[in-house]
Amino acid sequence: MTTLTIKVEAMAGSHVGEIINDMCSLATRLGSIVRCDLNGVTTMVKPNADPRDAYALWSAELESSRPYKIICAHPVGAPTDYTANPEGQAK
């Protein structure tokens, strides 16, 4: 995977599920993270991410009360416990 992130824009009125599916396909094809702001949620998907998992993360974040909404869908089978240690680095 490259160190680049590709930012895309979605067509107004598009269904979020279809956008996320396209984002996952593009990320896998390019081997890069694809990012898009969807209804106030910064949504990122990594190559080989499952669109259903990404949609579930997006939906939960949309309903959350957090002031900054961001999700990142990881590849299928990848560990998802990326909690930070006191130094701010992923464990």
Q: Would residue 83 count as lying in a domain?
A: no
User: What pLDDT, on the 0 to 100 scale, is given for residue 81?
Assistant: 54
In this predicted structure, the answer to whether residue 47 has a pLDDT above a threshold of 90 is yes
Number of domains in the chain: 1
The tens digit of pLDDT for each residue in 50-91 reads: 999 999 999 999 999 999 999 999 988 766 554 444 554 444
User: What pLDDT, on the 0 to 100 scale, is given for residue 11?
Assistant: 93
Q: Would residue 88 count as lying in a domain?
A: no
Specify whether the CB–CB gap between 16 and 57 falls below 8 A: no
Show the domain range for 60: 5-73
Q: Would residue 85 count as lying in a domain?
A: no
CA distance readout (Å), 73 to 13, 16, 23, 86, 87? 23, 14, 11, 24, 24
Q: How many CB atoms lie within 10 A of CB 34?
A: 25
The tens digit of pLDDT for each residue in 18-44 reads: 999 999 999 999 999 999 999 999 999
Residue with tokens 């002031």: 67
Q: Would residue 90 count as lying in a domain?
A: no
Q: Would residue 80 count as lying in a domain?
A: no
Q: Would residue 79 count as lying in a domain?
A: no
Q: Would residue 46 count as lying in a domain?
A: yes
